[in-house]
A = this chain, B = another copy of it.
Amino acid sequence: MALDLNYTADEQRFRAEVRAWMQTHVPKEPLPTLEGEVGFALHREWEKTLAAGDWGMITWPREYGGRGASLIEWLIFEEEYYRANAPLRVNQNGIFLLGPTLMEFGSEEQKARFLPQMAAGEEVWAQAWSEPQAGSDLAALRSTATREGDEYVLRGHKIWSSRATFADWCFGIFRTDPASERHKGLTFFLVPLTHPGVRVRGIRQMHGEPGFAEIFFEDVRVPVAWRLGADGEGWNIAMATAGFERGLMLRSPARFQVAAQRLVRLYETHAETAEPALASAVAQAVMDAEAYALSTYATATRLIAGGKIGVEASLNKIFWSELDVHIHRCALSLLGGFAELAAGDPAVVGSDAWLDGFIFSLAGPIYAGTNEIQRNIIAERLLGLPRG
């Protein structure tokens, strides 16, 4: 029966199982930010705890460390995960981006080598996409990979690599055909960040932690086995990865539902002094968070029925990133003169890091393709407007 928005008994049982596990295992106190060294290490530990409970990446096949769960079960898992206030996933680049990419484009050897390690929380991955002159315009990249026998020699300079300062491996595309331009002649590589010739330099983010990094590749020799897909196929693979990034999994709706729910509580303690429009803004935040969740359920059932995620990933990206900014702006408005307090100050209201969350939300409309670019994609590919 269609439009049956009730969970099956199995799904209910699954939820109970997740809830019970989270209740026992989620750290009682929030971990320090994963953008810093100490916090990163603790988050890495948490990934191993998750893996020990078989929760590393539940939708993956069992052979790669998953449990072959359905997308509906994944959504339930996420709901319980955020409901339990569990730590952010330090390996989101691996499990949500490179994982699906490997599943689609990797050789059997590569899948066997990398996926279980990801799911186990043993190897944490960073992206190596952007370059100083190639941000939104990824095709403008200049880093090269030169074939020499059974190896490639990588040279270049990547930037805005989230958490690369503390991660183990990175993935990115390099120009293998020196005569090529734009989207052609690019190849996808996997490189350990500890490999000879790789140098990582942290870049501090607005809040002062080195959440970004630059990666310098100085004559880095990598075996052909670390090439993902064929020589010259890098752009297509990277675009698929970027689709995963904007698509279903990276921003699970529960994250925003929990934030909106906390916002309601914050509003309730400030209702006497809040200006009237904030009541409506907070209600809107809840509605938008639920709209995003409903849309995700709709997409998930469509995927289960054999559908694909296409351009609508761009709609998602705009919606959740603007929602996240909206939620946090509401919170800062409610906090008034307390909004500016740095995280950890004893006078901070409640236990929610609204200010850090606000600053983090400002990155949303930028990364994974700026919202301006997403609007171009929607206009051109979904609505069919002429190219600029």
Contact surface of A with B, Cβ cutoff 8 Å: 275-277, 279-281
Contact = CB atoms under 8 A, between A and B. Distances in A.
Contacts of A281: 277
A281 B276 CA distance: 10
A107 to B, nearest CB: 46
Nearest to A280: B277
A277 B281 CA distance: 8
A162 to B, nearest CB: 30
Nearest to A279: B276
Copies in the complex: 2
A306 B281 CA distance: 46
Which 5 A-B pairs give the minimum distances between C-beta atoms?
A276-B276, A277-B280, A277-B277, A276-B279, A276-B280
A280 B276 CA distance: 7
A283 to B, nearest CB: 9
Nearest to A275: B280
Contacts of A280: 275-277
Contacts of A276: 276-277, 279-280
A68 to B, nearest CB: 47
A159 to B, nearest CB: 24
Interface centre among A276, A279, A281 (most CB of B within 10 A): A276
Nearest to A388: B388
Given A276-B280, A277-B280, 7 more contacts: A275-B280, A276-B276, A276-B277, A276-B279, A277-B277, A277-B279, A277-B281
